[in-house]
């Protein structure tokens, strides 16, 4: 995967709530500006659909200069 610059929307809403699908696929359910909002939404979905797994993660791309090797990062947060 080639890293890309974050768009303005990505910088405004870096927190994603994803639903895990079969065959290692995922679906972005919602995007949030704050982690607390994403976790609250995840808790609401957990009460409504307890059998469906959801994960909150932050999508970041590191700041690059000419001496670094680009490595895309995704931090998954299990609650």
* Domain span including residue 33: 8-77
Q: How far is residue 22's CA from residue 56's CA, in Å, rounded to a whole number?
A: 18
pTM listed for this prediction: 0.65
Separation CA 79–CA 72 (nearest Å): 23
Residue-wise pLDDT for 34-54, tens only, equals 999 999 999 999 999 999 999
Largest CA distance in the chain: 48
How much is the pLDDT for 14? 87
Q: Is residue 34 assigned to a domain?
A: yes
CB 64 within 8 A of CB 51: no
In a domain, 35, yes or no: yes
The verdict on residue 67 lying in a domain is: yes
Tally of domains in the chain: 1
């Amino acid at each position: 995967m080639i890293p890309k610059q974050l768009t303005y929307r990505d910088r405004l809403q870096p927190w994603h709530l994803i639903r895990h699908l079969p065959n290692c696929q995922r679906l972005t359910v919602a995007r949030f500006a704050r982690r607390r909002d994403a976790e609250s939404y995840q808790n609401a979905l957990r009460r409504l659909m307890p059998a469906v797994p959801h994960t909150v993660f932050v999508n970041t791309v590191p700041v690059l200069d000419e001496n670094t090797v680009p490595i895309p990062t995704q931090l998954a947060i299990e609650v």
